[in-house]
């Protein structure tokens, strides 16, 4: 109900404070979403600003059912534009190339994170969003379903299949003999 009041204030009164309150509910998830998909922190910040501007322009002139759905739809478009413009040949590893591994445990954690990133990068946009919202942001199935605009049962099944697929792929990587 509070969201509908804020949306009304934005659309009718062009209330910037209402927009700030509305966006603050989605900021953490949106920043994480961008950080996982863009190569540098600066790129994620630029994309974040663009998304806020486009969301503001849309909300002040149109009615919206799901704010989070709108925000993440705009975000996917901004990310697609970024990669169309940049046409990266390679994506830099965020500052890890010069760092020394202090322990075997730290190396294992890094390998696990890279394996997870590899698996997530192979998912389509909807799967990545479900994975992020459910397993990184810790949202309930109901909240995820609302944001991705799918039924709860379809969202639950997608999350289950994603987790099962990731586990199988990571297990397969660990079971492969390692070359010395």
Confidence (pLDDT) at 152: 93
List the chain domain ranges.
Answer: 1-97, 100-180
Q: How far apart are CA 31 and CA 44, in angstroms?
A: 7
Q: Return the CATH number of 1-97, one of 1.10.1740.10, 3.30.1180.20, 3.30.2270.10, 2.60.40.10.
A: 1.10.1740.10
First to last CA, the chain: 60
CATH match of 100-180 with 2.40.10.10: no
- Assess whether the region 1-97 and the region 100-180 belong to the same CATH fold: no
Q: Which two tokens stand for residue 134?
A: 């459910």
- 30 and 75 in contact (C-beta within 8 Å)? yes
Percent of the chain predicted with pLDDT > 70: 83
DSSP state of 101: P
Confidence (pLDDT) at 10: 85
> How deeply is 133 buried, as exposed, middle or buried, from its count of CB atoms within 10 A (0-12, 13-18, 19+)?
buried
Q: How far apart are CA 32 and CA 116, in angstroms?
A: 15
Across the chain, what does the average pLDDT equal?
81
Tens of pLDDT, residue by residue over 114-157, are 777 777 778 888 888 888 888 777 889 998 898 888 999 999 99
Tens of pLDDT, residue by residue over 19-58, are 899 899 889 889 988 888 888 888 899 999 999 999 999 9
Q: List the Cα angle 108/158/148 in 5-degree steps.
A: 105
């Amino acid at each position: 109900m509070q969201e509908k009041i804020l949306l009304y204030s934005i659309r009718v009164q062009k209330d910037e404070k209402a927009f700030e309150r509305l966006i603050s509910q989605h900021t953490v998830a949106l920043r994480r979403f961008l950080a996982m998909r863009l190569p540098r922190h600066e790129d994620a910040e630029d994309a974040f600003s663009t998304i806020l501007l486009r969301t503001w322009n849309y909300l002040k002139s149109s009615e919206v059912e799901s704010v989070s759905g709108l925000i993440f739809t705009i975000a996917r478009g901004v990310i697609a534009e970024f990669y169309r413009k940049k046409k990266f040949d390679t994506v830099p590893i965020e500052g890890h190339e010069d760092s020394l591994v202090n322990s075997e445990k730290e190396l294992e954690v890094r390998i696990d994170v890279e394996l997870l990133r590899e698996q997530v990068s192979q998912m389509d946009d909807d799967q990545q969003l479900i994975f992020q919202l459910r397993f990184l942001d810790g949202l309930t199935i109901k909240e995820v379903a609302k944001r991705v605009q799918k039924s709860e049962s379809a969202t639950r099944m997608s999350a289950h299949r994603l987790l099962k697929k990731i586990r199988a792929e990571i297990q397969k990587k660990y079971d492969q003999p390692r070359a010395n």
